[in-house]
Structure 1
Amino acid sequence: MTSPTTSPDRTYRSPAGIAGGVFLLALGAWLGFDAVVRGVGRTPWMALAGLLLGVPLVVAFTIRPAVFGNDDRLRVRNPFRVITLPWGAVANFRSGYSNEVFDQSGTKYQLWSVPVSLRGRRRAQRRSLRAQTEAMKTGGAAQSGADQRATADRAMDELRELWEKRAQAETAQGEPSVRWAYEIIAPAVAGAVLLLILGLTG
């Protein structure tokens, strides 16, 4: 007897955040390389320590965040933690000035990769109003409300729908788990310590 296979993950990330992170990393690499090659005295060491601190933090807040959802669980990859929530452990989603998920104990986890954009919501509302106006003029059908919603709101709608559909499934039960991202934390701390040492010994 074969075990049921888990559906592929739906992935939610912020294209703007990734683009900003790539730009900052490229800028940091250029400035850091220049300081290491051309710097004198303690400058190359300060540049290396700055890169050791800065690169993990830029990656953590821009490129790393992602939300993955499949039939069994929600996995939230935030800057410094990875939270795994079986659908049965999810209590609610909330959208306000940030998008959040709550587990059954009431613990809140922010969805960093699905940022709320008030400007995006206003643009979506304007598109919806224009579509309704055009439909009234032409006598046609307006686009559905889902098509007019902001990207982050559509993502939250999809996650809520998946949760409501799968919360009672046998394979979607379990306890939340949280793992710290030591691959981000360790080099950033090392860079901060090195900068402190260089500063104190200067």
Structure 2
Amino acid sequence: MTSPTPPAEPTYADRVYRSPGGIAGGALLLALGLWLAGDAIVRGHGSAPWLALAGLLCGVPLVFAFTVRPAVFANDDRMRVRNPFRTITLPWAAVADVRAGYSSEVFDQGGTKYQLWSIPVSLRQRKKAARAQGRASSTASDDEPRTAAADRTIRELRELAERGAGRDGAQGSVSVRWAYEVIAPAVAGAVLLVVLLSVT
């Protein structure tokens, strides 16, 4: 008689950390760029429509890369950092530290630093949280200590790293993949733009 197989550990969906301000700003820039380029394509004369198309081909991927694309995905086994031009996957056992100074960063066991573009550090938010914490301590309040959004996120990621480092699924090395789907059209658009400008 075979012994029953132990139940698998439950898996949970990734926690996703993104910058709402970055996404909103990116959407606004993309809408503005599309409107201006669309007007040049429809009403422009000579090489203006082609220049607008080349500008779109170069500009849209770059705006998307720096505003909408950045995200951090974290689960029990690893974190995946999606930056403008690279995606870095770090199993928790490979993470040495996660910290936020003037920017949010993760360090692997070899000391290599990767920035977390989707978790911007706001010094203004930190000062505001420190003032609120000072007021709360002066009134002997038992409220939850207030911290800036980036610092709360970094604390969550650090806790996930500490809890997950010993898991079997959290072992392995860091992998880096370049975002050619962003780089290739941006480079093609830039080359086309240079060629068009040189012949006009």
TM-score band, normalised by shorter chain: over 0.9
* TM-score normalised per structure 2: 0.93
Runs of 4+, deviation exceeding 6 Å: none
Partner of 1:143: 143
CA deviation map 1:58-110 (0-9, x unaligned): 00000000001000000000000000000001111222111110111111100
CA-based RMSD: 1.2
CA 1:121–1:36: 2 relative to 1, 3 Å: same
How many correspondences in the alignment? 195
Q: Distance in 2 between matches of 1:172 and 1:5?
A: 15
Aligned 8 A contact 1:101 1:111 in 2: yes
Match of 2:14 among 5, 9, 14: 9
* TM-score normalised per structure 1: 0.93
**2:74 counterpart letter in structure 1:** G
Residue 176 (structure 1) aligned with residue 181 (structure 2)? no
Partner of 1:87: 92
Match of 1:53 among 50, 58, 63: 58
**2:54 counterpart letter in structure 1:** A
CA deviation map 1:114-162 (0-9, x unaligned): 01111111111122223334x34xxxx33122xx100000000000001
Aligned 8 A contact 1:97 1:116 in 2: yes
List aligned pairs for 1:142-161, cutoff 5 A. 142-145=142-145, 148-161=146-159
Q: Distance in 1 between matches of 2:8 and 2:91?
A: 18
Q: Which runs of 5+ in 2 are unaligned?
A: none
Aligned 8 A contact 2:130 2:147 in 1: yes
Q: Distance in 1 between matches of 2:60 and 2:186?
A: 8
Q: Which runs of 5+ in 1 are unaligned?
A: none
Q: Distance in 2 between matches of 1:200 and 1:11?
A: 44
Q: Distance in 2 between matches of 1:171 and 1:49?
A: 45
